[in-house]
Each structure stands twice: as C-alpha cells, then as structure tokens.
Amino acid sequence: MPFTYRTPNEPSVRTTRSTTQPPPYVSKQAPRRLRLQDQERVEEKENIPQSIGMPTEILLPSVSRKREPPLPSSTTASLPRETTSSESRIQVRCMARTRIPTPHGTVFLHLYHNTLDNKEHLAIVIDPAQYSTNSQSIAPPIRSRSLDAIWSDDETQEDRILRGAYVGRLTPETRIPSRPIDQSRPPTDVPPPLVRIHSECFTGETIGSMRCDCGEQLDEAIRLISQPIHLSTSSSATIPGRGAVIYLRQEGRGIGLLSKIQAYNLQDVGHDTVTANILLGHKADERGYDIAAAILRDLGLGSEQGESIRLLTNNPDKVMALEKEGLRVLERLPMVPRSWRCQSESALSSSAPEGRKAGVSMIGGDMAWGVDLNKYLRTKVLRMGHILPLSMIDEMQ
C-alpha cells in the first residue's frame, strides 16, 4: 500500500515501502546556541534540589521584558508638565474621575494616562469631605491637579462634568464644575493621609485566591484609610478618614498574568515565588513606582508643596522608591495579614467585623489564610526583605 511522507523543505513525494529510505532524523531540541544562552539561568536551576522532579535539561522559555510603547505623540504632547528641574520625570494626566460606593464608604476613582506606558493606572481616593463645597475645611481636598486644569480654551462646563472635574455632589440638579486648584496649602493639625501603593492581582482580587493576600490587602487598605481621624489626643474631635490607594497595573509583580500562572505551576512542583520568577526569565520583582510617585504628586500628596504621607506597606523598597522620587514619607505602617492577627483557625470563622465584613474586591470579603499563603508570605520576608513578624505565623502552626 503506497504512503506519503514529506521531508524537510521538499515537496510531497509519492512512493512505496520497498523503495523508500526512512525519513531523515530531525531534532526537536532547540538549537544549541539557544540552549546555551542565559547561562545564569541554567546555573540557578542547577542549585535547585532534584527531588521535585523537574529535569534540569529542560529550559523554560524566556519571556521578553521589553517595555510597551509610549502613548501616541498627539496624546503625550498634551499632558501637563511638572514644574521640576528633572525633564525626564514621568508625566501623568487624570483622564476621568467618578464616585464609587463601597462597603467602607464612598471613594473617588481616578483613571490616569502617562508618558511611560499605555496602561491605565488608577487612584482610589478616600476623601468624603469633597462632598462639601466649603473651601475652608480643616484638611485640603485630595484632588487631581491635572483633572481640574483647563484643558483647552474651548472646553465647556459639560466637558468638565463628563470627566469628573466637579465639586460637591453630582446630581441631576447640582453640577458645579471645579476650577484649577492650589495644592500648596498643607493642613495644620491634621495627621498626614494614609497611602497604599497596590499592584493589580486578578487571582487575589477577583476570584479570591489564597495563594496571596492581595485582595485582602486592597480591602484592608481602603478600610483603614476610611477610619475617622482623631485631630488630637486631648480632644474627641474627628474628621472623616482620608487618603488614597494608587492601583498600578503590574500583575504578578510586573511579569504579567501569563507568567504568573506559569509561576504558580512551578510553585506546585516545589519552587518558591522568587525562584519561579527567575526560572521564567524574570527578576524576583519587576515592579516600578515612578508612575505611582507621579500620580501622588498630581494629587498633592508627598510633594514639597503638598502634604507628607503615611505609607501602608510591608515592603521597604516602596518607601525608598518614593523617597528617591522626592516624596516625603513620614511613617511606614505595616499591613499584617488578618489571619496572623487572629492567630487561630477558630477566629477565621468568627463574626469579627474586620474579618467578615464584605470586602471591596475579595469574594465574600473573608480573610485569606492557608498553607499556600503562609509559604508565600514567609518567602517575601526571608528572600525579599519584607517586614513582617514571622513569630506570628509560627504561633499558628
């Protein structure tokens, strides 16, 4: 019975078994020059125990870390310029702002464009005092300078209302456009606002993954910022909580969702989160905070002309990154996992308000806990320098 085979780079040939030579062997391995590149990655893999069943001969594909192209010149040219001697500083513009009701109270969601990448980064501003049109409030409003600026000579009040440049409440009867603001008036007796720099996490925030505590941290940050502020220890006077969460589109510590999912599989065969990133051709942490700094400056937070900030983070790199950008970080406040604070599984099923309240993004608003989470957090402390009390997790085990 005749059969057909195709040799490499040859047209289809019709022949018989009796006259046909076996097809030439074609290696399915990558060329040697490709297998030998990135020697540091190979050496890293050689140091990994073989008991996890991952053959060292298999080289995982390298993922390009090339930055995405900047915004079109027609857009970047119209972005407001900072009054700074550093011409290389990233420019941002708040394109839209709107009110979002949450279980922790109302927040104002700001969407930003920038001159570095084509991602839409966000700022979640908690500042209930903005409902008031009184300019003599105790604390200055946390508003975007670029949003309130005049964008063109022919823009209308409707244009400003549409993008969220309004003051007070927006209702069918009340539409008061904002005016360009002066951010140089810091408050006198009001504690600096709380700020959280948060990186996007689809798995933790959308489907409630307990491999990490990202969803819980986002929920907890908004809850903490929303707490009433005591003006002094000698007085019972308070004002509504105020601050901001800068939400950066840096999925998987900057490696993207695809690589993050692959990294989870590597973690399941025995690697920790740091080694998994390295095996995929990434750094342990590829995030940057220059865009966050630019957004904070636009909101009048941390800059010399505005207020200093108190930063909610366990990561000292965030503090150093903001200070390198010239922002004033008065204090670092830890983000201790809720399960660590409860310190027992029985507390996980309790009705404690901070543990069971419906969350901003986590499914059910419950606290994250479990073996995967504890391993992840331990790695962040031991290998990435995060500041968390490991003694608390030891007490739970």
pLDDT value at position 365? 55
Among 172, 151, 173, 170, smallest CA distance to 161 is for: 170
Spatial separation of the C-alpha atoms in residues 341 and 345, rounded to whole Å:
11
Spatial separation of the C-alpha atoms in residues 253 and 277, rounded to whole Å:
9
* 287 in catalytic set: yes
pLDDT single digits (tens) 317-374: 999 999 999 999 999 999 988 877 776 445 555 545 454 444 445 444 567 678 888 8
DSSP three-state, residue 301: strand
> What is each CA distance from 235 to 12, 94, 187, 224, 238, in whole angstroms?
90, 37, 17, 21, 8
* 285 in catalytic set: yes
The boundaries of the domain holding residue 181 are 73-80+87-250+287-396
Residue 115 lies in a domain: yes
Cβ–Cβ under 8 Å, residues 122 and 111: yes
pLDDT value at position 351? 46
> What is each CA distance from 290 to 187, 246, 287, in whole angstroms?
26, 12, 10
Concatenated DSSP letters of 93-124: EEEEEEEEEETTEEEEEEEEEESS-S--EEEE
pLDDT value at position 304? 79
Asked whether residue 54 carries a pLDDT value surpassing 90, the answer given is no
Mean pLDDT of 207-223: 92
CB neighbours of residue 67 within 10 Å: 10
pLDDT value at position 41? 52
Tokens of 109: 């969601």
Q: Which residue among 148, 219, 285, 298 is the active-site one? A: 285
Spatial separation of the C-alpha atoms in residues 180 and 256, rounded to whole Å:
37
Residue 19 lies in a domain: no
Contacts of 82 (CB under 8 A, 6+ apart): 89, 91, 294, 297
Tokens of 172: 């069918």
pTM for this structure? 0.75
Confidence band, pLDDT 50/70/90 cuts, at residue 137: confident
Residue 49 lies in a domain: no
Confidence band, pLDDT 50/70/90 cuts, at residue 134: low
Which element (helix H / strand E) includes 166? Answer: strand 166-167
* Portion of the chain with pLDDT greater than 70, in percent: 66
Confidence band, pLDDT 50/70/90 cuts, at residue 242: very high
**Residue that has been written with the tokens 């059969």 in this structure:** 3
Residue 348 lies in a domain: yes
Confidence band, pLDDT 50/70/90 cuts, at residue 389: confident
Spatial separation of the C-alpha atoms in residues 145 and 167, rounded to whole Å:
13
pLDDT value at position 158? 95
Asked whether residue 4 carries a pLDDT value surpassing 80, the answer given is no
Asked whether residue 53 carries a pLDDT value surpassing 80, the answer given is no
CATH number at residue 237: 3.40.50.10990
pLDDT single digits (tens) 261-290: 999 999 999 999 999 999 999 999 999 999
DSSP three-state, residue 229: strand
* Portion of the chain with pLDDT greater than 90, in percent: 51
As for how many domains the chain has, the answer is 1
pLDDT value at position 262? 97
Residue 23 lies in a domain: no
Residue 241 lies in a domain: yes
Tokens of 151: 């964008």
Asked whether residue 95 carries a pLDDT value surpassing 90, the answer given is yes
Residue 171 lies in a domain: yes
Q: Which residue among 287, 297, 310, 338 is the active-site one? A: 287
**What is the longest distance spanned by two Cα atoms in the chain?**
102
Among 250, 252, 379, 382, smallest CA distance to 321 is for: 250
pLDDT single digits (tens) 373-385: 889 989 999 999 9
